[in-house]
Structure 1
Amino acid sequence: MAKHKNKHRWFMLGLLSALIAAPNATFIRSVVAETGVLQFNIYRFAAATIVTAPIVWRHRKKYRPKNIPSMIAGSLLMTVAVLSYVSALKVAPASYVTIITLLTPIIFMIYASRLTGERFDSRSLAGVSLAAAGGLVLVAGPVALKQQGNFVFYPLGTALTLINCMTFPLSIIFFAKANKRGIPMTALMGVSTATTLVCAVVLVIVTKTPVPVPQPQVAATALYSGVMVAVVARSLNIASYEHIGAVVSSSLGYLESLLAIVLPVLILGERLSREMVVGGVLILVGVFVVEHHKSRHHKHHHAFHHH
């Protein structure tokens, strides 16, 4: 009973991370066109680095040879992931990018199976399949209905988004390894944000890109995206992974897609389309199936600890 309650608690923390991160793409899309990819990433990761610097310094003695490789690998992969994601949002519609990022949880499950030995039964896969179908319906449905003429393909946007899909889940696995070896999640996120900040600054210097003082809306978005999403939500997601497994984490990823579309309905009073209803139901059913399954094959066989 205590073990079940503890797992439920970690599931709720994973859900909280999805709630925090859901509006992220919308906010980034609203400012990145006028701000620029490198400038915005400097703003948001400067904020995140400042917030996490005391934590990184406090745990400096835990950065030992056995966990440094995983920490560095995770940080560099996360840098590639966040830069490619914001770049994709600048060159392609958010709905187009969202459709492709539905691949991320599936890729995460493949990584977990190959690298950690985590196994999935048919019921788990059925739950994730339902969630994936729901995500596809709620995102692709409205696009297909409103699309006039031939489908528009964005080669650069597609390539950048696929890079994000491949690097983000792999970075999470490396961070989880470093966490099990003694580095706290918040310290890992601090190192990650500092790495991204340094890389963005180097690119700005090399390309001679100006970085002006951000406008209030840009600054607020950078604080939210850099601190609440990049540090708080990601730390919660990584911390919950060991306790709820890759399948539940993947399903929560699809739930986050639902929330990202439903939020404007709740806040701005927009109409709820049939595609949102069908997709939302499929996602919620998928999460329910995965969360309540009891698999004899499921095990947390990790060389590590986990959005």
Structure 2
Amino acid sequence: MTSACHHGPVFTSDSAPGGRAKGAGVGLALASAVAFGGSGVAAKPLIEAGLDPLHVVWLRVAGAALVMLPLAWRHRSLVRRHPGLLAGFGLLAVAGVQACYFAAISRIPVGVALLVEYLGPALLLGWVRFVQRRPVTRAAAVGVVLAVTGLACVVEVWSGLGFDALGLLFALGAACCQVGYFVLADRGGDAGEGAPEPLGVIAYGLLTGAALLTVVARPWNMDWTVLTRDVPMNGTPVAASLLLAWTVLMATVLAYVTGVLAVRRLSPQIAGVVAFLEAVVAATLAWVLLGERLSTPQLVGGVLVLTGAFVAQTATPVRAAPQPVASGGPRRESSAREPAA
């Protein structure tokens, strides 16, 4: 799984999102979806062994923050130069998504909460079109529609229909935080000395998220002994510490790093649709590793999500025409993310 107009210096595109850079971006987005999608398979045995879900989230984020601590120290100047960005990334992209999602599933079915949360890419298109006033490609819009329809089938939303206003509000909050993640990961200006390093931003975002989640999760009440023993995974004993290491290193550190780098190479709306694959990956891994079989509607939904992601990634963001400059003045190259003149 962020806010503001496309003005301030945040993440800067390495190159125009086309050709080789776009291919790398799609690969990174897929890697991020696979990494995020594997979090549930590793976390569920820990929860079934006695850990509170919120404690698992805290372990995940706090462990990732500890791993990224050397990068945070290396880029410590970011605290002075971009405090708002660091706070926003930690609040929205890390703590906000997690806290709102778990608050939502405490009141409404998981499938419904997932569906509402993954309306984020659809909300993102609205943000790009009406707030940033940038063009939205037809392929990205069609991809969102296909992916949302497919996700509804994957989570079998009809089996958990119900209405809880507060639960739906929490799920919508998770969707808005997801929008915040993609927008913050995409914001940027010209490359230069003042542009923040994305790995440093991720490191401080995780540190901020861990601090906020500590207040909510209260880890001092956690049963720490669970982490010292084996836990069953579909009948097979697996070391709880190994599952935690997977959750921290793969499903959090690798997932956030590849996700942010993907958004830098693609437009946020394209990367957002590819992120729908997380739900398909999670369902598939649960089928293979946890023995949770997929129904026919779920398989059809998976195909629709894949189709939507493929359609969306064919979109090419509109380029801006080069800006005329006065004779002798410095030439300013147009950004691939600026709307066409």
SS in 1 for 2:276: helix
Q: Report the counterpart of residue 301 of structure 1 in structure 2.
A: 337
Of the candidates 60, 66, 69, which is equivalent to residue 44 of structure 1? Answer: 60
Instruction: Report the Cα offset of residue 289 of structure 1.
Output: 1.9
1:215 aligns to what? 226
1:13-162 aligned within 5 A:
13-32=28-47, 34-65=50-81, 67-77=82-92, 78-140=94-156, 143-144=157-158, 151-162=161-172
Q: Shift of the alpha carbon at 1:176?
A: 4.0
Whole-angstrom CA distance in 2 between matches of 1:84 and 1:279: 25
Distance change in 2, residues 1:3/1:177 (3 Å) = closer
The alignment's TM-score, normalised by the length of structure 2, stands at 0.73
Aligned match of 1:287: 309
- Tell me if structure 1 keeps the 8 A contact 2:108–2:167: yes
Query: Is 1:249 aligned to residue 271 of structure 2?
Result: yes
Letter in 2 for 1:248: I
Amino acid at match of 1:164: A
What is the aligned residue count?
294
CA separation of 1:121 and 1:3: change in aligned 2, threshold 3 A: closer
SS in 2 for 1:120: coil
Aligned identity (percent) is: 20
1:170-222 Cα deviation digits (max 9, x unpaired): 144234447975332322222122112222333466xx962342513565444
- In the TM superposition, what is the alpha-carbon distance from 1:17 to its structure 2 partner? 0.6
Bigger proportion of residues as helix: 1
1:199 aligns to 2:235 (yes or no):
no
Stretches of structure 2 that go unaligned for 5 or more consecutive residues are 1-15, 232-239, 321-334
- Go from structure 1 to structure 2 and tell me whether the alpha carbon gap of 1:162 and 1:4 turns closer, same or farther (over 3 Å shift): same
Contact in 2 for aligned 1:84/1:164 (Cα 8 Å): yes
* Residue in 2 that maps onto 1:6: 21
Between Structure 1 and Structure 2, whose CA radius of gyration is higher? 2
The 1:272–1:230 alpha-carbon spacing in structure 2 relative to 1, beyond 3 Å, is closer
Distance between the aligned counterparts of 1:296 and 1:178, measured in 2?
16
The counterpart of 1:185, out of the listed 182, 198, 204, is: 198
Report the CA distance shift for 1:173/1:59 in structure 2 as closer, same or farther (over 3 A): same
| Cα drift, residue 156 of structure 1 | 4.2
Q: Structure 1 unaligned runs (5+)? A: none
What SS does the corresponding residue of 1:215 show, helix, strand or coil? helix
CA offset digits 1:134-179 (Å, max 9, x no partner): 1222323xx53x56xxx43344432322211112321442344479
Q: Deviations over 1:57-108 (max 9, x none)?
A: 011134443x222222222223222222233344443223222222121122
